[in-house]
Every structure is written in C-alpha cells, then in structure tokens.
Amino acid sequence: MQLTGFLLILHYFILLNFEGVMDGHGSSFVGKGQLPTTTSEQNTMPGGTYNIISGGQNEVDAPNDPEAQRRARNRNYSKTYRLKKQDHMLKLEDQVKTLNETLSITSSELQYFKEVQSNLEIETNSLMNTLAQISSSFDGDEGPFSPSR
C-alpha cells in the first residue's frame, strides 16, 4: 500500500513538473521552482476517477525487498497450508465413508446375532420347561433323578 501511494505521488510530481514540456514551454521551464499554470481539465483524464489497486497481483514487488520476500513467504505458506488442509479434509471424508460402510455392515450383523440370541433363549426356556416336567414326573420318595434299583 505504501508503494502504491509513493507511485501515485511520483505520478503527480511527473505530471506537474513535466506539464510545461508537453505544452511546448521547453525544458527551461521544468525544475525552476515554478509550476506550470494549467486548467483543471488538463490535469484530469477522461472519466475523471482513478482506480488505485493496492496489494494483490497488480502490485510489483522488488526482488530484494524484505517486505516483499516476507509477503511471498506468507503467500507460499498459506497456499501450502490450504493444500494440506484440503488433503486432510479429503482423508477425513474417506474415513467417514469407510466408517459409515462398516457401521451399516456391523449393524446388520448385530441385528442377525440378536435374532439368533432370541431364538437360543426361546429354545433354552423350552428345554428348561421340558426338564422341569420330566424331573417333576420322576420326583418321588427317592428324590429327583435317583437311580432305579
């Protein structure tokens, strides 16, 4: 942003100091401490507004400028971080998909084993009732399941 402001000031300085050369006053008019007298129409461009863009890709960085190098490192780090984050998110999404598939398989297996358990409990109760009936029919003076003579 400071570089853009400097360039804007430099642009106005050049416009003001070299306006006389462009108008035909010659080079003797430039740099004498005098500003050329111009009307406001001469110092404005058609459209009347300047769009100043600071930062981003429109700003030219000097290769040896430490601030520019720091910004470049920050951009590279941010890009690397975003890529790592995106990769991590893809891995997590794959993990969630795998876990959901495993959950659906496991839940169907669990349902099957609950049915088997229920059937086994019914069979166990039936066998216990049968055993109770048999043991009560043989109960006598000698007690349950006592050996015959």
Query: 30: domain range?
Result: 1-39
Summarised one tens digit per residue, pLDDT across range 56-114 is: 554 555 668 999 999 999 999 999 999 999 999 999 999 999 999 999 999 999 999 99
Higher pLDDT, 42 or 146: 146
With respect to residue 25, please indicate whether it lies within any of the assigned structural domains: yes
Q: From CA 26, how far away is CA 34, in angstroms rounded?
A: 13
Q: From CA 103, how far away is CA 92, in angstroms rounded?
A: 16
Report the pLDDT averaged over residues 18-26.
52
Q: Rounded mean pLDDT of the chain?
A: 75
Summarised one tens digit per residue, pLDDT across range 23-64 is: 555 555 445 555 555 554 444 455 555 444 444 554 555 668
Report the pLDDT averaged over residues 110-128.
97
Cβ atoms 88, 80 nearer than 8 A: no
With respect to residue 98, please indicate whether it lies within any of the assigned structural domains: no
| Helix, strand or coil, per DSSP, at residue 125 | helix
Q: Which of 8, 92, 91, 16 is nearest to 52 (CA)?
A: 8
| pLDDT given for residue 64 in this prediction | 82
With respect to residue 64, please indicate whether it lies within any of the assigned structural domains: no
Q: Report the predicted TM-score, pTM, of the whole model to 2 decimal places.
A: 0.39
**Residue 137 clears pLDDT 70, i.e. is over it:** yes
User: Residue 147 — φ and ψ, nearest 5°?
Assistant: -65, 145
Q: How many other CB atoms are there within 10 angstroms of residue 20's CB atom?
A: 21
**Residue 143 clears pLDDT 90, i.e. is over it:** no
Q: How many domains does the chain have?
A: 1
